[in-house]
Structure 1
Amino acid sequence: MKSKLPILQKHGITHVICIRQNIEANFIKPNFQQLFRYLVLDIADNPIENIIRFFPMQLSLFSGKVLVHGNAGISRSAALVIAYIMETFGVKYRDAFTYVQERRFCINPNAGFVHQLQEYEAIYLAKLTIQMMSPRQLERSLSVTAGSLKRTHEEDEEIGNLPAAAQNG
């Protein structure tokens, strides 16, 4: 990446996410810490790796142009970029995958990452739905799902204030 500095500057890159596993730490590392903000993620390219924990990116940390940099740019970095596209633009996995693949043809997230991306689709869509609901809709939705209560708390207080004979029926 050292030889790519002029290209990074030309494109206005401000942040770099380095994705690596432990054995790659010597060559995938922050090289220009005085020029860019770095985030280093230790993620193995393994189908059983829990990559979903990295998906809800702290977008507030990145208020510029971000380069996602890995060893080959095929599996791990592609999975993170796909998750970012899904959440940021509210699109489904297949659409985000196609969008990223049209820009980098060689992407191929491993099967475990694909499965986690598909699981993440339901998670972020549910979050998006809740964010779009008005407080009144959200309250109504929560009261419907709280169907295990036999009576409301207000009703419970009213019953508690009745004389003992009336409570027993």
Structure 2
Amino acid sequence: MRRECQEIIPGLILGPYQCSKDTEYLTSTGITHIICIRGEAEAVFVRPRFPDLFSYLVLDVRDSEEQNLIRIYPQARSYIADALQMGGKVLIVCNGGISRGPAITIMYIMEAAQMSFEDATHYVQNKRYCISPNLGFQCQLKEFEAIYRASLALANQPTAHTQRDSKRRLEDDDEGVEADMDLRPAQNQRI
């Protein structure tokens, strides 16, 4: 299984680079988009092989604990989301399909399914047993959980501008109601 690709969620497939060299496999599974994740030294052999047949996104990512994945992820997220929205299938590959590709896949699953780092990792690992993002990537995935959850919280909060507009509309509505009412207390009524 380590040398094969696995479908993680419908339309999102993860595996080693060698899967992206097999046009029969790619066309038979309906893959339309391929993300090649490679380090600088791997650029000679981990590269788009069939640019006339498939759409490619190449991400230069070292399998190093110091490599910043969080900065690179938004580009991958957009590419995956756009492809899936168009009805395409995305294959994510790195040299061995063990560290870099799985880390990006876990980030996508965390955000798309609103899962914790641990749950998303277990989910992906249940589909592709051999994943093992390096320790630096694991730390970043934990950090990413806090980042995407904060983004969700902000997205679900009304903005200050919206709150001001709503308050202003309520005040305007109250003035209209007040104009129709005699707000003076009745002679013997206590306030």
Q: Same fold (TM over 0.5)?
A: yes
Q: Does 1:82 align with 2:106?
A: yes
Residue of structure 1 equivalent to 2:28: 10
Q: Deviations over 1:121-156 (max 9, x none)?
A: 0000111122233x3xx439x99xxxxxxxxxxxxx
Which of the numbers 86, 104, 121 marks the counterpart of 2:145?
121
Counterpart-to-counterpart distance in 2, 1:31 and 1:128: 38
Q: Conserved in 1, the CA contact under 8 Å of 2:21 and 2:49?
A: no
Counterpart-to-counterpart distance in 2, 1:23 and 1:30: 15
- The two structures have a TM-score, normalised by structure 1, of 0.76
Residue of structure 2 equivalent to 1:44: 62
Counterpart-to-counterpart distance in 1, 2:21 and 2:111: 32
- SS of the counterpart of 1:67? strand
The one-letter code sitting in structure 1 at the alignment partner of 2:32 is T
How far 1:3 moved relative to its partner?
4.8
Residue of structure 2 equivalent to 1:22: 40
Counterpart-to-counterpart distance in 2, 1:60 and 1:12: 16
Which structure is richer in relative contact order (CA contacts within 8 A, separation 6 or more)?
A: 2
Task: Pick closer, same or farther for the CA change 1:3–1:39 going to 2, 3 Å.
Answer: closer
Counterpart-to-counterpart distance in 2, 1:6 and 1:132: 45
Q: Percent identical across equivalent pairs?
A: 45
- SS of the counterpart of 1:13? coil
Residue of structure 2 equivalent to 1:158: none
Counterpart-to-counterpart distance in 1, 2:42 and 2:21: 18
In structure 2, list runs of 5 or more residues that go unmatched: 1-17, 165-191
How far 1:101 moved relative to its partner?
0.2
Q: Deviations over 1:16-54 (max 9, x none)?
A: 000000111111100111111100001000101111112
Alignment of 1:107-118 (within 5 A): 107-118=131-142
**Greater gyration radius:** 2
Task: Pick closer, same or farther for the CA change 1:4–1:87 going to 2, 3 Å.
Answer: same
